[in-house]
Structure 1
Amino acid sequence: MSRRSLRLRMLLLSVLATLAALALAGWTMAGVLGRVVTGGIDQRLDSQLAVLASVVRDDGSVDRKRLSALQGSLAAGPGWRWRIAGPAGTIGSSDFPELRARLPLPPGADALPPVPLDGEDRRGHVHARRLVLESAAGPVTLTAAAPGRVIGQPVRDALVPLATVILLLAVIFALSAWLQLRFALRPLAALVGQIAELRRGARATVEEAQPQELQPLADELNALAAANAATLAAARQSAANLAHALKTPVATLALTVTPGSPEEAQVHRIEGVIRHTLARARAAAVNRRASTPVAGIAADVADVIGRLRPAIATHRIVPDDIRVAIDAQDLAEMLGNLLDNAARHARTTVRVTAAYAAPGEVQVTIEDDGHGIPADRREQVLQPGVRLDEGPAGDGFGLAIVRDLIALYGGRMSLGESAMGGLSVALHCPGGGA
């Protein structure tokens, strides 16, 4: 997927959003877990403060005998400390660190329930609780402290599996997003394929049943295809009408002039201008996206020729799956000209064959068993109005029209000798796909 891919953009956005959500969830859970663990430690420290408070007499002195009896409940492990500071002095752990309140305390805050404190020693963070008692001799400050590891270690132990779960969730969500995009964008990929078939002429419209988001696009594409088809049909009809309207008068005029006369030159000039104008008109109207089966058109044209010339047998060897990128009307006109020409010059038989000559190229061949055309005269008969026979039928424009028409589609026409002895005309047509 390139950086211009919508799928890549949507996948990246989904992955980033998922990672951000999981990171926020992990941070929130870590904070909640830290507060839970800290709350448990605070309860334990408050219990120690209660023990210390129980050994302080009303006059502020410490009942050392009772303190000794309760000493075991204050020894929670390495790093746990306690201290009693009153008018009579200070007793407790010798290495008590300097502590500070997490937030500035307002005046008189020491008289409130236990206040949380924090500090640092050589082992690291220290968390403590402080309680101030009032006595006859003055205030007595009780402090119980715990090493920071008793808070940090459980949090870290819980965060390792939590981070693993978050990572697995990120992978699952990313894979899920990729699968969703893959399946969600399938209709768009199918629509692209249908548009490609529409361009090649393999279909006339895209499928109308589309997802809700693609339905307006499909409707507009079908409307555009219909409008283009209507415009193309109108242009082709105009070109065809002009061709038929001018073909007969020019051919008739060419037959009435004296060969080599100035009038013949003027007729050829008129004919050249007409052919040039018609070629431009038909080139603009050529349907290059067509995909026409040759067999059906050949059968229809052969049937018409057979009725006009019942003495001539027309054999067709045209597989049903062969298609050419030529409009059906133009293919019918080319085959009609060639089959009519072959039937007029054949003795008994005309043959039409079609086969794939190369990838993307179809060769349609029309042969007859007539006298044929000498090799040195074949180029001459391709000139408009030129005929080698003196019969009344034909105007000499058939082969020239076919040559010009096939050229508009990027193909070509070649003349040769038929295996049956007559003329062989091969149309090298662009393939029309399946």
Structure 2
Amino acid sequence: MTLIPQSILPASIHGRMLLISALATLVALAVAGLAILGVLQGFVTRGLDQRLDAELSLLATAVRPDGAIDKPRLAQVRAALAGEPGWRWRIASPGGVVSSADFPEVEDGPLLPPPPPLVPAADRAPPPPVGGPLEGPRAHAPQPGEGYDADGRRVHMRSVSLPSTAGPVTLTAAAPWAMVQKPVRGALLPLLAILAILGAVLGGAALVQLRLGLRPLRRLRADVAAVRDGRAQTVAEDQPEELRPLATELNALLQDNARTLATARASAANLAHALKTPVAALALELRDDPPRAALIDRLYGTIRHHLARARNAVTERRAAAPLAETIADLLGTVAQLHADRALVFDDTAQANVTVAIERSDLEELLGNLLDNAARHAASRVAIATTAQDGTVRITVSDDGPGIPVADRLRATAPGVRLDERGDGDGFGLAIVRDLAELNGGRLLLDEAPGGGLAATVELPRAGGAS
């Protein structure tokens, strides 16, 4: 069970890790801020307690051993006790209560320990000096308390009980709670600014960490893309410890695919050799029977067609073939085959363009197109190429009769011959179409600018767009 619902999680690992880091940083900063405020408030409160205890020490000097209040002495210390607005004091003795005006009510009264047993006057310690600490057998440790004044404002108190021969005397000093809140609030804005700066630093550190931490994944993705485009055969295994097993498994998978491809190609070649001899022998036997000889020619074309499909069903997608070089070689062969017709071959193929297809498949594909164009051309065959957005367009056009629009789809069906006068077997355009589609492309038939047929093959460019 995840702490964050899957519906709101980002789709990327980078986004998820950044979200978790941001949430953890916010929680950590909030906890740190609250902790710092608590420590600061405790520190200010202790400082206030020390000031109140000093006032209690002054009040203690006005209490006589018999519990009576030394009014002349109290008059001397009152100026110090009333130094700030809102500060109050009280002396509660068995003989009465003396206090500053509007002394607040104690909310839950300070818990004071019971006074110690009375000590004979001869053995009693003298009262503490003015401003001295509350020490000796006469005083207990001051106790905290809370209260509210007549306006409902919170006050903080300190109380102490002094023993006397007449009974315990309770001294209380109080100060407004604003004495604690004011410095805390004053420190709040700088604290928030510091936490904000710390959060920004931690956020920047998280971004840098994610950037560096996920860099091996991006590099591995680039390696896989290079293998797919034919620019590499394996991915680099020099990876961090967590990714090294993945890289190793990917390379093992690539090797298995290569072995499977080699086996398939070998099987196709063996089948081609196995059928070649019987078909050739059968053609010799029926050479004097034109109808049956035509059937043998069609059978040979069918074998070539299906062998091409079987071979390209497991075609090597990482292959790359040079386009201009392949076209130049094929044009030389086709020109020799049709040397008696004095055809003009116009080659404007782009240089330095590679196509994502096996060279043998490219030769068969273009060979069929060029031979088909040469057989139907009146005087000229042109071939042109364009490469854009990762796709290569190869157009072979002629100035022959062309193919009507209504017959263009049927012309790519296996064994269909629209012109019975020639010596073709009707499988050329079908093989071109199949080879193009099996390599991620397509075949388009259109009318050439000067009349005739313009056959265009679209194939993926090796390495993607440039």
What band does the TM-score fall into relative to the shorter chain? 0.7 to 0.9
Q: Which amino acid aligns with 2:57?
A: A
Deviations 1:177-213 (A, max 9, x none): 2333234323323332332343343433333333343
For the pair 1:113 / 2:113, whether they are aligned, the reply is: no
Q: Which of 50-59 and 250-259 deviates more?
A: 250-259
* Cα distance in 2 for residues equivalent to 1:276 and 1:353: 24
Moved more, 231-240 or 282-291: 282-291
Matches within 5 A, 1:65-80: 65-80=72-87
Tell me the SS of whatever aligns to 1:240: helix
The 3-state SS of whatever aligns with 2:168 is strand
Change in Cα spacing, 1:224 to 1:363, as seen in structure 2 (3 Å) is same
Q: Are residues 1:28 and 2:28 paired?
A: no
Q: Per the alignment, do residues 254 and 358 of structure 1 end up closer, same or farther by CA in structure 2, a change over 3 Å counting?
A: farther
Confirm or deny that 1:331 pairs with 2:362: yes
Q: How does 1:38-187 map to 2 (within 5 A)?
A: 38-100=45-107, 112-121=140-149, 122-187=151-216
Q: Deviations over 1:18-77 (max 9, x none)?
A: 111111111111111111111111111111111111111111101101111111111121
Deviation at 1:389, TM superposition (A): 7.3
Give secondary structure in 1 for the equivalent of 2:393. Answer: strand
**Per-residue deviation, 1:350:** 11
Change (3 A) 1:118 1:425: closer
- Name 2:352's counterpart in structure 1: 321
Partner Cα distance (2:269, 2:360) in 1: 10
Q: Name the counterpart of 1:355.
A: 385
Please tell me whether the aligned partners of residues 133 and 139 of structure 1 are also in contact (alpha carbons under 8 angstroms).
yes
Q: Does 1:192 align with 2:221?
A: yes
Which of 206, 224, 242 matches 2:253?
A: 224
Matched, 1:411 2:452: no
- The letter of the residue matching 1:65 is P
Structure 2 gaps of 5+ residues are 1-7, 117-137
Please tell me whether the aligned partners of residues 309 and 434 of structure 2 are also in contact (alpha carbons under 8 angstroms).
Answer: no
- TM-score normalised by the chain length of structure 2: 0.73
Cα separation, partners in 2 of 1:317 and 1:245, compared to 1, 3 Å? farther
Measured in 2, the distance between the counterparts of 1:245 and 1:302 equals 30
3-state DSSP of counterpart to 2:157 = strand
Relative distance call for 1:364 and 1:96 in structure 2 (3 A) is same
Query: Residues of 2 paired with 1:101 and 1:270: CA distance?
Result: 110
RMSD: 4.4
Match of 2:28, SS?
helix
Specify the SS of the correspondent of 2:171: strand
CA offset at residue 326 of structure 1? 1.6
Give how far 1:173 is off: 1.9
Alpha-carbon deviation of 1:127?
0.6
For 2:196 and 2:446, locate their aligned partners in 1 and report how far apart those are by CA, in whole Å: 73
Q: How far apart, in 2, do the equivalents of 1:103 and 1:96 lie?
A: 15
Distance 1:337 1:275, change over 3 A: closer
**Given that residues 115 and 163 in structure 2 are in contact (C-alpha distance below 8 angstroms), is that contact kept between their aligned partners in structure 1?**
no
Q: Percent identity?
A: 46
Q: Which SS does the other structure have where 1:362 is aligned?
A: strand
Change in 2 beyond 3 A, CA 1:357/1:414: farther
1:380-391 pair list within 5 angstroms: 383=415
Match of 2:265 among 227, 236, 240: 236
Distance in 2 between residues matched to 1:333 and 1:186, nearest whole Å:
42
Residue type matched to 1:356 in 2? T
Quickly say closer, same or farther: Cα 1:134–1:37, change in 2 above 3 A.
Answer: same
CA contact (8 A) 1:101 1:116 kept: no
Given residue 272 of structure 2, which amino acid in structure 1 is its aligned partner? A
Flag structure 1 segments of 5+ consecutive residues without an equivalent: none
Contact 1:406-1:427 within 8 A present in 2 as well: no
Residues 110 and 159 in structure 2, CA contact (< 8 A), matched pair in contact too: no
The aligned counterpart of 1:214 is 243
Whether contact under 8 Å (1:60, 1:139) holds in the other structure is yes
2:302–2:427 Cα contact (<8 Å) kept: no
- Count of residue pairs brought into register by the alignment: 423
Q: Per the alignment, in what secondary structure is the counterpart of residue 242 of structure 1?
A: helix
**Contact persistence 2:112–2:143 (CA under 8 A):** no
Paired letter, 1:144? A
